[in-house]
Structure 1
């Protein structure tokens, strides 16, 4: 039951962020990116055509690498709520 609520909250937070119309600071975007990637267990290369952007994304992932999937989901939800 608790996991279902976390997955629901995470899904709603992702939808909120995807529909967010304001301008997000770069550090917030990078944290959201890292939390999302870890939460979805996506270990693929960042994939930007710009090496500098890849470096920032890789750094964000390194900083969050010790988070479990559930911790990343919780962190994503908390950060998304702070944007409201």
Structure 2
């Protein structure tokens, strides 16, 4: 089965985002990227009781906020966010 155009664009956006410096991105943007990526690639969060770590708590919270979002919608939003960051 071949990848869809959305999946290819999602993977390309991930590769682009992976090259970006986290120091240059505001924390809220980093959290949105994380949540959209996780929702687009995995779907709804599960097994969230992995101990307390403040950084992971923020990441999990960002993901939980979009837990009912369709995977394809999360991919589109991820792509749009990465593209908007490239223009800056």
Structure 2 length-normalised TM = 0.78
RMSD value, Cα: 2.4
Q: Number of residues paired by the alignment?
A: 82
Q: In 1, distance between residues paired with 2:29 and 2:18?
A: 13
TM-superposed deviation, 1:23: 1.2
Q: Which runs of 4+ in 1 moved over 2 A?
A: 42-46
Q: In 2, distance between residues paired with 1:57 and 1:67?
A: 16
Match of 1:62 in 2: 64
Structure 1 length-normalised TM = 0.81
Match of 2:9 in 1: 9
Q: Runs of 5+ in structure 1 lacking a partner?
A: none
Q: 1:5 to 1:62 in 2, by over 3 A?
A: same
TM-superposed deviation, 1:64: 1.1
